[in-house]
């Protein structure tokens, strides 16, 4: 039977089937029990719980299981999601029953699962003596991070400023410095971008306001933001805008001067009347040129304003106790899906100075009623003054009469 089967391996010319021989040869090379002259007796890492961007040691122990001295090659691969991230190769000799420990190092640049492959070959790398695989989970103590990018208006004109809010969150316990890169992809010109550095405290949120110039051509464009640590992107976010020349306007009523003492806060209304012929959707408001954490806007979004309707944002500005006593030229920016409107105002931080309530109430009381209230207040104050003067005069007269009677009494006695 064996003779018949072997004959079938040859063709009429007595030549062996090359494909079949290669198959048998490959099979024999992968059977370690036949050729085994060495083994990988251990593989582990130090530390056991590696951290992102921190180097760890891969320890691989190899021993000679043969009864004579042998030459070996040890290959070590580190992969993530099927891609090889690092590799090392060691050539060495071992006497019978002797072992050796190899300790290559690796620094992961992303969290998640890694695979470590260790392969032990003969000196020609023809025979694989032993293979070991170790799964490693890399974690982070400075993250993970969340990042979101929000455009205040979904529609802007060519070469106009796009107001953007970048929201960041560090879920980890440790704080770290991070680079934020924001850019818009343009077709007929180079991408427009801005970047800045922030310190993200552990287990905290942070918002930053910035503007980016729109491309000079019309169309839908992507704006991408990235959070970068050590030249590696840890989080990213994308939003879209439409660039065109269509422009819709609306009226804004707001205080031109806002006075607030250090350590105090003030609330005022920003009234919006839709003068366009279409409805405005998803209106949002932001105060530029002061820290975002000073302001609270209620509501965060006005879903819809129909033509000729009016809506109001309530803006609260809280001044820190250590804020500089200066004037801030602020910009009240209101964006919707259809348009963007910006108006100038002034925030004056003061100390030890009375702040009239009209700043808060002026927008809530009509001009005619406010005028009448002023006249009424002055009238009440004058009336109170007349009453006080009258009472003082009566008291003085009574005192004078009493003094005269006392003098007459003394003369009679």
Model confidence pLDDT, tens digit, residues 270-286? 999 999 889 999 999 99
CA separation (Å) from 177 to 72, 174, 197, 236, 264?
46, 10, 7, 16, 31
- Mean pLDDT score of the chain: 83
- Look at the chain and count its residues: 413
Q: Is the pLDDT of residue 320 over 90?
A: yes
Residues near 274 by Cβ (< 8 Å), separated by ≥ 6? 250, 280, 305, 306, 307, 308, 309, 310, 311
Please give the full DSSP string across 225-270, using - where no structure is assigned: EEEEETTEEEEEEEEEEEE-S----EEEE--SEEEEETT-EEEEEE
Point out which residues pair with 296 in neighbouring strands.
316
Residue 369 has what pLDDT?
A: 54
Q: Is the pLDDT of residue 171 over 60?
A: yes
Write out pLDDT tens, residues 297-308: 999 999 999 999
Q: Is the pLDDT of residue 381 over 70?
A: no
Is the pTM of the predicted complex or chain greater than 0.85? Answer: no
Q: Label residue 18 by pLDDT band (50, 70, 90).
A: low
Find the DSSP H helices in 13-65.
Answer: 18-29, 32-35
Q: Between 351 and 260, whose confidence is greater?
A: 260
Fold agreement (31-138, 250-364): yes
Q: Does domain 31-138 have CATH number 3.40.109.10?
A: no
Q: Label residue 230 by pLDDT band (50, 70, 90).
A: confident
Q: Is the pLDDT of residue 357 over 60?
A: no
Residue 248: closest CA among 135, 341, 346, 387: 341
Instruction: Provide mean pLDDT across the span 224-229.
Output: 92
Report d(CA 164, CA 153) in Å as an integer: 9
Question: Homologous superfamily of 145-243 in CATH?
Answer: Immunoglobulins (2.60.40.10)
User: Residue ranges of the domains in the chain?
Assistant: 31-138, 145-243, 250-364, 368-413
Question: Homologous superfamily of 250-364 in CATH?
Answer: Immunoglobulins (2.60.40.10)
Please give the helix or strand (H or E) that residue 386 lies within, else none: helix 367-412
Residue 378 has what pLDDT?
A: 63
């Amino acid at each position: 039977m064996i003779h018949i089967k072997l004959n079938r391996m040859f063709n009429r010319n007595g030549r062996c089937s090359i494909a079949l021989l290669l198959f048998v040869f490959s099979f024999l090379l992968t059977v370690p029990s036949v050729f085994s002259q060495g083994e990988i007796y251990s593989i582990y890492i130090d530390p056991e719980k590696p951290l992102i961007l921190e180097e760890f040691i891969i320890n691989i122990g190899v021993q000679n299981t043969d009864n004579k001295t042998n030459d070996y090659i040890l290959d070590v691969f580190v992969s993530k999601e099927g891609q090889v991230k690092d590799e090392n190769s060691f050539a060495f000799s071992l006497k019978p029953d002797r072992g050796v420990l190899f300790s290559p190092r690796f620094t992961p640049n992303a969290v998640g699962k890694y695979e470590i492959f260790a392969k032990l070959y003969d000196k020609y790398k023809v025979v694989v003596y032993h293979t070991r695989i170790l799964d490693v989970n890399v974690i982070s103590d400075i993250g993970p991070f969340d990042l979101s990018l929000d455009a205040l208006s979904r529609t802007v004109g060519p070469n106009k400023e796009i107001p953007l809010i970048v929201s960041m969150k560090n879920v980890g316990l440790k704080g770290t410095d991070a680079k934020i890169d924001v850019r818009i992809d343009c077709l007929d010109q180079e991408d427009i971008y801005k970047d800045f550095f922030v310190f993200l405290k552990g287990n905290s949120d942070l918002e930053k306001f910035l503007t980016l110039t729109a491309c000079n051509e019309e169309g839908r464009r992507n704006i991408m933001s990235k959070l970068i640590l050590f030249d590696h992107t840890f989080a990213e976010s994308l939003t879209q805008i439409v660039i065109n020349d269509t422009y819709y306007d609306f009226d804004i009523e707001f205080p031109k001067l806002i006075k607030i003492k250090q350590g105090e806060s003030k609330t005022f209304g920003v009234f919006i009347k839709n003068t366009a012929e279409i409805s405005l959707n998803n209106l949002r408001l932001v105060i530029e040129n002061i820290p975002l954490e000073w302001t609270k806007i209620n509501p965060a979004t006005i879903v819809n304003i129909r033509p000729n309707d009016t809506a109001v944002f309530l803006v609260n500005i809280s001044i820190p106790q250590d804020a500089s006593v200066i004037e801030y030229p602020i910009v009240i920016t209101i964006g919707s899906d259809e348009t963007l409107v910006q108006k100038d105002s002034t925030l004056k931080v003061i100390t030890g100075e009375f702040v009239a309530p009209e700043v808060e109430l002026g927008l809530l009381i009509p001009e005619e009623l406010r005028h009448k209230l002023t006249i009424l207040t002055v009238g009440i104050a004058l009336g109170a003054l007349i009453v006080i003067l009258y009472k003082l005069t009566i008291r003085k007269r009574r005192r004078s009469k009493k003094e005269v009677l006392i003098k007459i009494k003394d003369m009679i006695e």
